[in-house]
Amino acid sequence: MPAPPLPSLAEHIARHGLAPRKALGQHFLLDAALCARIASLAAPLEGRHVLEVGPGPGGLTRALLESPAAEVVAVELDRRAIAGLAELGEHFSGRLRVIEGDALRIDAGALLPAPRRIVANLPYNVGTPLLIGWLRQAHLFESLTLMFQQEVAERIIAAPDTEHYGRLAVLSQFRCAARMALRLPPGAFSPPPKVWSAIVHLVPHAEAPDPALLAALEKVTAAAFGQRRKMLRSSLKSLGGAEALLEAAAIEGTRRAETLSVAEFTRLAELVLARAG
């Protein structure tokens, strides 16, 4: 017997008492066509295991379950949403696995088998730390299709010498090819946030770097962008031997962090690592 039709998202929210909570970054997508469009940005999903963080009332989750994905694993912190998500799982014959918990504390790679993709309308307050964590294990994922507030999305895809270029761009682009996939006005969400949102599609590079190199890059970019208006010979002093480091990397000490390419930052990180080992 076919499953009974799903209630509208508005009915689902009313029935499960999911009045949006600001502290949880809850801005819901209620337009099914828009959710389907977001799911399609992550294509192909055929046979893929998809991690969704923050399913909430499940608009995007429905779209992912309507795709040919093998399974959707949804991690949600808000206990109020769990029963409704379980109902959704029944409707889609067990292809939805719901985990109640904090995505920041979960090892995403261990949660689902390959081939893995991440698709999520992220809570704004934890979007950046979640991305940084996933970058450390990016080789485990085929792609990450992630909604952030637009300014964060700009910071992920930014090129050197532009307004938004900084640590997040270097770390993201060191591990992934990143592109802006879609910009959304506040009115696309309920309730509307104060700012525009945007979806970034990240495709990790095939080769996984030595985790120690990524750690060195995190250290170098923290020092360089921590004092971004200063010349590198001064901002990198905390690393020790800044002048020698810059000379070995063939980078002028009078340059500022925002002018360095990802390749130049990588060269500095390699030298820091070689020096330590």
Closer CB to ligand SAM, residue 22 or residue 228? Answer: 22
Closer CB to ligand SAM, residue 106 or residue 180? Answer: 106
Strands 197-204 vs 176-184: parallel, antiparallel or unpaired: antiparallel
Q: Tokens 């330590």 map to which residue?
A: 276
Of these, 28, 134, 225, 265, which contacts ligand SAM (CB under 6 A)?
A: 28
- Among 20-28, 134-142, 155-163, 201-209, the segment contacting ligand SAM (CB under 6 A): 20-28
H or E segment and range at residue 108: helix 108-111
Specify the amino acid at residue 78: D
- Rule CB under 6 A: is residue 89 a binding residue for ligand SAM? no
- Among 102-110, 238-246, 248-256, 257-265, the segment contacting ligand SAM (CB under 6 A): 102-110
Within 124-163, which residues bind ligand SAM (CB under 6 A)?
Answer: 126
Q: Say what angle helices 167-175 and 262-276 make with each other, to 10 degrees.
A: 80
DSSP string over 155-189: HHHPPTTSTT-SHHHHHHHHHEEEEEEEEE-GGGE
Beta-carbon contacts of 177 under 8 Å, excluding residues fewer than 6 positions away, are 202, 203, 205
Closer CB to ligand SAM, residue 25 or residue 89? Answer: 25
Count of residues engaged in binding ligand SAM, rule: CB under 6 A: 22
Within 49-68, which residues bind ligand SAM (CB under 6 A)?
Answer: 53-56, 59-60
Q: Which residues pair with 142 in a beta bridge?
A: none
What residues make contact with ligand SAM under the rule CB under 6 A? 24-29, 53-56, 59-60, 75-78, 102-104, 121, 123, 126
